[in-house]
Structure 1
Amino acid sequence: MIIPVKKRIQIFDTTLRDGEQAPGASLTPEQKIVLAYKLAELGVDVLEPGFPISSPGDFAAVETISRKVQGVEICGFARAVRGDIDAAVRATRDAERRRIHLFISSSDIHLRHQLRKSRPEVVAAAREMTAYARQFCEVVEFTAMDAARTGIDDLIEMVEAVIEEGASIINLPDTVGYALPHEYGEMFRRVRLGARGGQKVSYSAHCHNDLGLAVANSLAAIAGGATQIEVTVNGVGERTGNCALEELVMALETRGDALGAETGIVLDKLYDTSRMISGAMHFPIAYNKPVVGRNAFQHESGIHQDGLLKDRSTYEIMDPERLGIPRSMIILGKHSGRHALKDRAAKYGIALDAAELDALYESFKETADRQKAVSDDELLRMVSTATGQQAQVYELGDVQVLAGSAPRRVAAVTVRHLQNGTEEAYTSTGSGPLEAVIAAISQGIAEHISFAGLDLHSLGSGENAQAEAAVMVEWEGCKFRGTAIHQDIVMAAGIAYIAACNAALLSARVEQVREAVFPVVE
């Protein structure tokens, strides 16, 4: 049997350039350098770290990244203007591998209203500046901006001109997210076959997401002959953003046989990279965001939960753990069933008999009907009541935080050690109330459990809104998650931290309990 060879798609990451152009997403040069290393580890083929002519900070960032980040091609971005090209050339001169990426508009709309030049003038500029850039760099990528709204004959004329002057990569972007997939893929096919020299160069797609079609259009471009896709992590970028790196990569990974294409991205680094970009740009990730969103691998419906517990493939087409995403697929809410409750209790090392499960289920449903979700902290308290046994190791007692104008906050907490019935008080400081409370609680946890991350979400609006906190901790090389709901965000975070610690400490009993509760069927 002959296995078809998949086309290797180059991943061109422009998170630090186009992604940073999203309003409010600006990065410092220092942040760009840190993120550039992360993107290189992720396995992107080409990195566009910024627009060198745009500011001294951007120039410095591109220059430093070119000098320090190895194993990835660095791209200097420039308008079809000598000064821009000169800046891009200088900024990338120390790169291990580099290219110059220049652009000029190609559509009648842009020529008439933005450039206010005739088509012959613009084609001449494209030709001249491509030749100029080619003097300094062997690899020149040319972008015909707004290609998707350009007449095909006009587009071919411009592409032919820059190919003659040495451009080896032709980018045909859907700059305003207007194209439909069949139109966009056909544009690539027609340019590739219709332009003189068109089959001797490579093609790139750069899609915006104004109609939610950026990934679909990028896949259509691949079908039309593109071998490079320009993406951003989390789909950040102008207006509604760009083709999302993680969505494109997983579409090719999941449906690679049908699409005949693959990438070199290191999958288990996708989630951490996504979270790092989100944090640096202060751009939250939507709950329903494909691949990396909070709900991407979480299920509340009892029917779905039952199927997943029997076999993951019933309702999941990707394995979250391959992407570096901690598995927490079962969300307990009013639609959850007994099977999910039994499984969650087993994750805490607690085996429930039929009577205990019935008692827990009744209490759970009553709580779930009153609020959107049932947190781990609440569930453990319900389990303790249903079984008559203490399910938790620690419990958070009183919390007080001293706020004010001082640079440090002071927190005082009490932590109940439920296994021996004692309660101790602890105090600590932090640059904010959350940091101070977590530091104080940590003093009361005897084991060396590391705080690994916190997500906070509002469960409503107005004065009575509650906060949901999800805390990740690490212990003995494994990660554990705890959740809590409270009107006070500091309390929510503190209780979730305790729940995560309980999950870690109870994990030692999990395997033997799961074998008893969910025996393997031969």
Structure 2
Amino acid sequence: MSQPQKIQIFDTTLRDGEQSPGASIAPEKKIIIARQLARLGIDVIEPGFAVSSPGEFAAVQQIARELQQVEIAGFARAVKADIDAAVQATQDAARRRLHLFISSSDIHLNHQLRKSRDEVVQIAREMVAYGKQFVNEIEFSAMDASRSGREFVIELVEAVISEGATIINLPDTLGYAMPNEMASLFRSVRKEARGGDTVRYSAHCHNDLGLAVANSLAAIEAGATQIEVTVNGIGERAGNCSLEELVMAIETRKDALGAETGIRIGEIYETSRIVSRTMNFPIAYNKPIVGRNAFQHESGIHQDGLLKNRSTYEIMDPAAMGISRSMIILGKHSGSHAIKHRLEEYGIETTEEQLKSIYGRFKEVADGQKIVTDDQLIQMAGDLTQTRPDPYALIDLQVHAGTQRARSATTTIRNNERGTDHSYTAIGEGPVEAVIGAISQAIPAEIAFEDLELHSLSTGEGAYGEAVVSIIHSGKRYRGTSIHKDVILASAQAYISACNQAIMTAGRAREEDHAGGAKESRRILR
């Protein structure tokens, strides 16, 4: 069998991705994302549009200087001032390219550029030649290529190749093309353009019709060896080809595609979270790969199959991508097998009769609020089995907030192992910070609060809010969930739930290590 074709991943999260309405990034935060992109294994990073502002220029310059292991692309219109800024900002990169673009469709030429085809070809020639003085690698993009006349695209590509362009990008700028049309475009240009077999090809697809990944895969099958992507698929309008979707499509179906990437898939989820948090741009629940529901299952049939063998209802392993969340969501469609499995994860053993009673109460709660949190399930089990397996419980919470004072919180926390209650007080810039500070005083473990998500589960003044809290303990991430009409209380309960999970997991690990050590000692003695 022939070796898979290596596909370069060109990331434009920091340039095209930042053009998403409401998703701008402060220049000093761009370097944070760029570092993570390097850890992810991105081949080429496009850090921004250097000519657009002094802050943008400085950000591109810093990334080019620091990330010496990644190729840096300087983005520029076919304008000398843009090229000069891009060249200067990237001059300290170990490897760099100039990425030039100009429109090629008659729609753009007539209504935006107001130039003839001959004028555009001449501008493209001159600017590629000008850029070639400074860099060896020049990527040329024929913007809106998928809506351009095929003959003109070929003429334009021939012109820039003759002036030294080394990479030809054929963008589906408006997300208009069908996969067969993208494949045809690449095949035609590669075959018919003079010098077309001497350059590399790249695809830059937008997602207006939801076809960005499909069109990018079609381009690969037609000879493209580079795909331009953004993390979480962010970008103009409906966004760009999603990095995580494309990479995992290639990873999962590499035999069918005959392709592979150099992406470290274990960094995918962390990269997605960093971009989402830094840009204040939430991820849709049903977003493939990184969405909250991507590897979560509520249907009892699916849950039963999943517990027997993960491959029954999953084609990818979430753990391989760094996704450390439960695969099963407990809701009104869940079966008793899933309930039993979740309780066992917390070390709670039940008889058949107890499980039946717990399941009946579970169904009553699930009918009213869609999903049931682990904390609620543990409480149900505790009430019916006369146990409280979770180490800590929130007994009381008082929060004071206002415009003229610091926010303060007082909590009463029960230590279930000792059977004692103690109260703690803390202040913070916001009520949630104060609440977390107060609870943290009660829990003697090194736990780092990472993230809080708040979601409304219904409408109106009496809506339930869902709080999802992520923490880090001993290098592992834990998530706690709680539902309440009071979102501050829900946040507190979710935080305690996450802490309980971390403490109980660490405790079980110690018990298993101890048991293993005892067995080994007995074996040696024999």
TM bin (shorter chain)? over 0.9
**1:226-305 → structure 2 map (5 Å cutoff):** 226-305=224-303
Unaligned runs of 5+ in 2: 513-526
**Residue in 2 aligned with 1:371?**
369
- Deviations along 1:381-406, one digit per CA (max 9) or x if unpaired, are 10111212122221112212221235
Matched, 1:60 2:61: no
- The answer on 1:307 being equivalent to 2:298 is no
Larger mean CA deviation between 398-407 and 499-508 belongs to: 398-407
Q: 34, 49, 63: which one pairs with 1:51?
A: 49
1:342 corresponds in structure 2 to 340
1:154 aligns with 2:152: yes
TM-score normalised by the chain length of structure 1 = 0.96
What SS is found at the alignment partner of 1:429?
strand
In the alignment, which residue of structure 2 is the partner of 1:502? 500
Q: Is the 8 A contact 1:103 1:144 kept in 2?
A: yes
CA drift at 1:370 = 1.0
Provide the C-alpha distance between the structure 2 equivalents of 1:332 and 1:276, rounded to a whole number of angstroms.
27
Judge conservation of contact 2:121–2:159 (CA < 8 Å) in 1.
yes
CA distance in 1, matches of 2:181, 2:510: 53
Q: How far is the alpha carbon of 1:506 from its aligned partner? A: 2.4
**2:517 aligns to what?**
none
Aligned equivalent of 1:447: 445
Q: Which of 423-432 and 124-133 deviates more?
A: 423-432
Q: Mean alpha-carbon deviation: is it higher for 456-465 or for 7-16?
A: 456-465
Q: For residue 38 of structure 2, what is the aligned residue in structure 1?
A: 40
In 2, Cα distance between equivalents of 1:510 and 1:386: 26
The equivalent of 1:518 in structure 2 is none
3-state SS of paired residue (2:347):
coil
Aligned to 1:131: 129
Distance 1:254 1:137, change over 3 A: same
CA–CA distance in structure 1, aligned partners of residues 389 and 256 of structure 2: 48
Residue among 416, 425, 428 paired with 1:427: 425
Mapped to 1, the partners of 2:2 and 2:433 lie a distance apart of 54
What is the letter of the counterpart of residue 34 of structure 1? I
Pick aligned residue for 1:357 from 335, 352, 355? 355
Deviates more, 1:289-298 or 1:30-39: 30-39
Q: Distance in 2 between matches of 1:220 and 1:387?
A: 57
Give the drift of 1:428: 1.0
**For residues 346-382 of structure 1, what are the alpha-carbon distances to aligned partners after superposition, in whole Å with 9 as ceiling and x for unaligned?**
1111111101100100100111111110011111110
* Structure 1 residue 409, shift from structure 2 partner: 2.1
CA contact (8 A) 2:482 2:491 kept: yes
Partner of 1:409: 407
CA distance in 1, matches of 2:320, 2:334: 26
Alpha-carbon offset, residue 430 of structure 1: 1.7
- Asked if structure 2 preserves the Cα contact closer than 8 Å seen for 1:209 and 1:243, the reply is yes
Which residue in the other structure is 1:77 paired with? 75
In 1, distance between residues paired with 2:168 and 2:428? 52
SS in 1 for 2:171: coil
What whole-Å deviation, never above 9, does each CA across 1:283-325 have from its counterpart, x for those lacking one?
Answer: 1000000000000000000000000000000000000011000
Give the match's secondary structure for 2:496: helix
2:470 to 454, 472, 482: 472
Q: Shift in Å at residue 475 of structure 1?
A: 2.9
Counterpart Cα distance in 1 of 2:41 and 2:101:
25
Q: Structure 1 residues 372-381 or 282-291, which shifts more? A: 372-381
1:469 CA drift (Å): 1.3
Partner of 1:519: none
Contact 1:363–1:382 (Cα < 8 Å) also in 2: yes
AA at the equivalent of 1:412: T
Aligned partners of 1:101, 1:284: CA distance in 2, in Å?
29
Letter in 2 for 1:52: A
Shift, 1:125, TM fit: 0.5
Distance 1:512 1:200 in 2: 63
Change beyond 3 A, Cα 1:386–1:511 = farther
Give how far 1:327 is off.
3.4
Distance 1:113 1:462, change over 3 A: same
Q: Is 1:328 the equivalent of 2:315?
A: no
Which among 483, 487, 490 is matched to residue 488 of structure 2?
490
One-letter identity of the residue aligned with 1:332: L
| Letter aligned with residue 218 of structure 1 | S
Shift of 1:512: 8.7
Aligned-residue CA RMSD (Å)? 1.4
Correspondence for 2:179: 181
Contact 2:186–2:223 under 8 Å retained in 1: yes
Deviations 1:105-126 (A, max 9, x none): 0011111111111100001101
In 2, Cα distance between equivalents of 1:475 and 1:223: 44
Matching residue's letter, 2:123: A
5+ long unaligned stretches in structure 1:
514-522
Query: Do 1:407 and 1:431's aligned partners in 2 also have CA atoms closer than 8 Å?
Result: no
Equivalence for 1:438: 436
- How far did residue 442 of structure 1 move? 0.5
TM-score, structure 2 normalization: 0.95
Find the counterpart in structure 2 of residue 516 from structure 1.
none
Match of 1:520 in 2: none
Shift of 1:417: 1.3
Amino-acid identity (%): 63
Distance 2:478 2:101 in 1: 47
Q: Which amino acid aligns with 1:46?
A: V
Aligned to 2:306, the other structure's residue is in SS state helix
**What residue identity is the alignment partner of 1:85?**
I
Residue pair 2:325, 2:478 contacting (<8 A) in 1 also: no
Secondary structure of the structure 2 residue equivalent to 1:172: strand
Aligned residues: 511
Please report how far the alpha carbon of residue 448 of structure 1 lies from its aligned counterpart in structure 2 after TM superposition.
2.8
Measure the CA separation in 2 of the matches of 1:463 and 1:159: 59
Task: Letter of the 2:432 partner, please give it.
Answer: L
Aligned to 2:29: 31
What CA distance in whole angstroms lies between the structure 2 residues aligned with 1:383 and 1:474? Answer: 26
User: In structure 2, how many angstroms separate the alpha carbons of the residues matched to 1:466 and 1:53?
Assistant: 47
Quote the offset at 1:447 in angstroms.
Answer: 2.8
- 1:349/1:510 contact within 8 Å kept: no
Which of 191, 205, 224 is the equivalent residue of 1:193?
191
Contact 2:406 2:429 in 1 (8 A): yes
Task: Give, in angstroms, the shift of residue 182 of structure 1.
Answer: 0.4
State the shift of 1:407 in Å: 7.5
SS at match of 1:99: strand
Distance change in 2, residues 1:99/1:488 (3 Å): same
- Mark the CA change 1:345 to 1:491 in structure 2 (over 3 Å): closer, same or farther: same
Alpha-carbon distance, 1:488 to partner: 1.6
Greater Cα offset, 76-85 or 444-453: 444-453
Residues in 1 aligned to 2:179 and 2:109: alpha-carbon distance in whole angstroms: 25
For residues 475-501 of structure 1, the C-alpha deviation after alignment (integer angstroms, 9 at most, x for no partner) is 334332221101122111110111112
Write the letter of the residue equivalent to 1:361.
Y
1:418 Cα deviation after fit: 1.9
Local SS of the residue matching 1:288: coil
Distance 1:86 1:70 in 2: 21
Superposed CA offset, 1:246-298 (max 9, x none): 00000000001100111111111110110110011111000000000000000
